[in-house]
Structure 1
Amino acid sequence: MRIAGIAFLLAACQAAPAPQSSTASTLGAEPVNYGYTVAATYPHDRRAFTQGLFFLDGHLFESTGHVGQSTIRRVNVEDGRVVQSVPIPPGMFGEGIVNWGDQIISITWQDGIGFRWDRESLRQTGTWRYPGEGWGLTQNGTDIIMSDGTAELRFLDPETLRERRRLTVMANGQPVTQLNELEWVNGEIFANVWMTPRIARIDPQSGNVTGWIDLSGLVRDNGDNQDAVLNGIAYDQQRDRLFVTGKYWPRLYEIDLVQPGQPAR
């Protein structure tokens, strides 16, 4: 990803102690606007209504939505091939996913039911419940972090999946609603904001949006219908690669972020 930001604190895909952040001073700070360059482009299943995305052990893991079409998948990055796929239980609308140990944890949109899956076999191993809606998931090594379409992020105990606390996300003194797919990247929470071309960079201590990543160019290249919105962030910590895609997009992008004042796409 190669960009100056909050110092590296924790790998997104491994369980480790929570970061000890000193970023409380970001509260109320003006967000910085970032551009991007495309480092690589890969095929992506344009039939996938992408809800959740993460990278681990050389593969992308992706969840897709819509009742009767919702799946959990293992995907080959280079050619976009779905190498393994299982449906979520019938009648439910799948949403975000996150890895925890040898599990994948998933949520549904309005059913208040989540699932545990064996990460190797993708076999369902358990269920859990939560109030309200489920949108996106990520983790920081200590907590599972969940969005629900509001400006609040829920921090859950990974073992019991009970709620520990909430964090309100703010930018310029105003709450940022419609937080959707999430990814933990170098000590920050990256969040798609539904129906916009922007990703918010969120300080996990203060809840302040420290930066906006504007991917309008990618949305224009792929948004051939109103449902084809930006949604899907994955980070490869070992190789410092940031991936983004969207619902029904035929492409997955590896992007590098660009500081203000530098050339960008």
Structure 2
Amino acid sequence: MKKYVIGGLLSLVLLTACNKDKEILNSLNNYSLSMESKGYHFGDSLNLPKDVIDNAESITISFGDKDLDKLVVDPNYFTLGDNDITYNIKKKNGEIITQDATINVFAKNPEKNISYEIIKEYPHDPKSFVQGFQLDGNIIYESDGQKGQSRILKYTLGTTTPIVETKQSDDVFSEGCTIAGDKVFQLTWQNKKGFIYDKNSLKLLGEFPYPNMMGEGWGITFDGKDLIATDGTKNIYFLSLTDPSKVLRYISVAGNTQAYDQLNEIEYHDGFIYANVWQKPIILKINPANGEVIGKFDFTEISKENQVDEDSVLNGITFKGENMLVTGKNWSKIYEVKIK
């Protein structure tokens, strides 16, 4: 009889412990869900519920292969935007329970709405599916996409006739392009490689594979030292100019209340990165040091004038002095805007 009593007590203890674990996990899960929309800033504490803290000997946070033993939003571990983490709760009896969560981190300062004025319009070939766009002197370098139609070309601003162009094979979908010294670098969407051309002749000089961190190729620019690329996520990658397969560092992008992904065509100008968000009529002004969005352009009206289908979206950014030039896929115009 005694052993049945002991067995019953043991079952009760196990059931009580199991229920307590469920309470802890439910409490932590509810907390995580409530904070997911609110978000954090770098340096904020992760103030977990009291019943979680009281029942824990220690709590750590896992980021895949990294662990953080402080409940704080540390920029050495977290990035801007969404962060998928795991709470590891070591109970006072030595047992460990875990709970997955998403921590959203936003920029501390609100981004400004940047105003502008259209001061001039130029013609653009409406058959060109623009993916990359850069002005050098009075010459536009443009990368056009679509399989079977991809190419790199250059033409004089104000005309639509190519001075020279180089076409890609039918299996290539070209993406962004940028000038670095006497070369032009061009990305491809899903071919996992980029092309390097002579700037003057657009003769193909070589190819390079993407770094493993980049799933696809979307946009590319040059800051005078490094190549800077996007892959359609929230990340912006700084690549070695001498070895574009090497990621030197990367940043993730977010504003004060919103994370941004699907970053596409980008341009570096006067210390900042400008990026459009795929299928949205906006261009973000981004701090290259930390990924914070400090300003935003709204090109809704220009986009409405040129959008004839879901593909004909804003997708071209370059600068003419201090003015910005913008265009889009299959647009018939290039707009020069003065930033106010």
The percentage of counterpart residues that share the same residue type is 35
| Equivalent position amino acid for 1:241 in 2 | N
Task: Please give the per-residue CA displacement for 1:210-250, whole angstroms capped at 9, x wherever unaligned.
Answer: 011000110011011111100000113xx333100000000
SS in 2 for 1:170: coil
Contact 1:27–1:206 (Cα < 8 Å) also in 2: no
Name the amino acid aligned to 1:158.
L
Which fold has the larger relative contact order, with Cα–Cα distance below 8 Å and residues 6 or more apart in sequence? 1
Change (3 A) 1:104 1:240: same
Is 1:31 paired with 2:111?
Answer: yes
Q: Which residue of 1 aligns with 2:155?
A: 75
Question: Partner residue of 2:23?
Answer: none
What is the rounded CA distance, in whole Å, between the counterparts of 2:112 and 2:174 in structure 1? 33
Report the count of equivalent residues: 231
CA–CA distance in structure 2, aligned partners of residues 250 and 56 of structure 1 = 21
Please give the alpha-carbon distance, in whole angstroms, between the structure 2 residues aligned to 1:166 and 1:212.
Answer: 21
Asked if 2 retains the 8 angstrom alpha-carbon contact of 1:36 and 1:215, the reply is no
Contact 2:322 / 2:338 at 8 angstroms: preserved in 1? no
Matched, 1:147 2:230: yes
For each residue in 1:24-56, what CA deviation from the matched residue of structure 2 results, as whole angstroms up to 9, or x when unmatched? xx9421010122211100000000000001111
User: What corresponds to 1:17 in structure 2?
Assistant: none
Calculate the TM-score normalised by the size of structure 2: 0.66
Aligned residue in 2 for 1:64: 144
Map of 1:35-50 to 2, 5 A cutoff?
35-50=115-130
Measure, in 1, the Cα distance between the counterparts of 2:136 and 2:238: 22
- Provide the residue aligned with 1:209 in structure 2: 293
Question: 1:206-245 residue pairs with structure 2 within 5 A?
Answer: 206-236=290-320, 239-245=321-327
The farther-off stretch of 57-66 and 26-35 is: 26-35
Counterpart secondary structure, 1:176: coil
Larger Rg: 2
SS of equivalent residue, structure 1 residue 95: strand
Q: For the residues of structure 1 that align with 2:282 and 2:221, how far apart are their CA atoms?
A: 18
How far 1:171 sits from its partner (Å)? Answer: 1.0
The residue aligned with 1:7 is: none
Structure 1 gaps of 5+ residues are 1-25, 259-265
Alignment equivalent of 2:166, drawn from 86, 98, 108: 86
Runs (4+) of structure 1 exceeding 4 A deviation are: none
Per-residue CA deviations over 1:117-170 (Å, capped at 9, x if unaligned) read 011110001010013100000111111000000000010000111111110011
Distance 1:202 1:42 in 2: 27
Distance 2:170 2:242 in 1: 26
Unmatched tracts of structure 2, length 5 or more: 1-105
Of Structure 1 and Structure 2, which has the larger fraction of its residues in helix? 2
